[in-house]
């Protein structure tokens, strides 16, 4: 299988339960909920997306001919001399459009712990070590269990109670980023205070100005 990757880089995980952990981020190009083109934003199921996942022109991006080639590129991007805590985050776009058992096996052979951030609308292959589902209002979730459920808040038509019976270890609300970030943060804090099943999730990498 050929993999289309926007970028591969080494940084600090800025969100969720693994916040602060050094990781290689592999951002796959393409998504099934939005084309990534501004002209299509309002028609997309994820119109608030703040990520560029179009093309292969990012740092370390490209077309990778097979799982071995991509796993080697991820290994070579690991920036620490400590090889015992290798951690890779597969993200996008929507990484579930491309990841497969061959890539998971190749990354495990290189001693990576594998995390994914997915919109949950596509079933995942087995073997992923940490599953974060970023739920989008109005979509049909096929991934209904995992380690983290993240909901960007607020979303039009999104009733959070529908998620609370799902089998996740952590439930996070993340303020929607954009022109109304301050108001969205206040609303998110208020909701968490009234509904303590949910925890506030911040994009600390933006606060720290790191990738």
| Catalytic machinery residues | 25, 31, 46, 49-51, 117, 205
Residue pair 119/133 in contact (Cβ under 8 Å)? The answer is yes
Angstrom distance (rounded) from CA 19 to CA 75: 21
> How distant, in Å, are the alpha carbons of 132, 138, 170, 185 from that of 153?
16, 14, 16, 8
d(CA 139, CA 121): 7
Beta bridge partners of 89: 25, 115
């Amino acid at each position: 299988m050929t993999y289309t990757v926007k970028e591969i880089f080494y940084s600090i995980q800025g969100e969720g339960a693994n916040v602060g952990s050094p990781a290689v981020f592999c951002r796959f190009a393409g998504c099934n909920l939005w084309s990534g083109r501004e002209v299509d934003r309002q028609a997309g199921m994820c119109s608030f997306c703040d990520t560029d996942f179009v093309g292969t022109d990012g740092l370390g991006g490209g077309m990778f001919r097979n799982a071995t080639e991509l796993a080697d590129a991820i290994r070579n991007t690991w920036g620490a001399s400590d090889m015992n805590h290798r951690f890779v985050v597969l993200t996008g776009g929507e990484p579930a459009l491309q990841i497969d058992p061959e890539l998971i096996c190749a990354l495990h052979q290189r001693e990576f712990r594998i995390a994914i951030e997915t919109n949950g609308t596509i079933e995942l292959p087995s073997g992923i070590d940490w599953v974060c589902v970023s739920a989008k209002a109005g979509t049909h979730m096929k991934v209904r269990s995992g380690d983290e459920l993240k909901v960007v808040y607020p979303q039009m038509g999104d009733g959070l109670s529908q998620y609370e019976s799902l089998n996740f270890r952590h439930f996070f609300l993340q303020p929607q980023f954009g022109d109304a970030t301050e108001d969205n943060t206040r609303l998110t804090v208020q909701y968490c205070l009234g509904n303590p099943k949910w925890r506030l999730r911040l994009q600390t990498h933006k606060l720290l100005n790191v990738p």
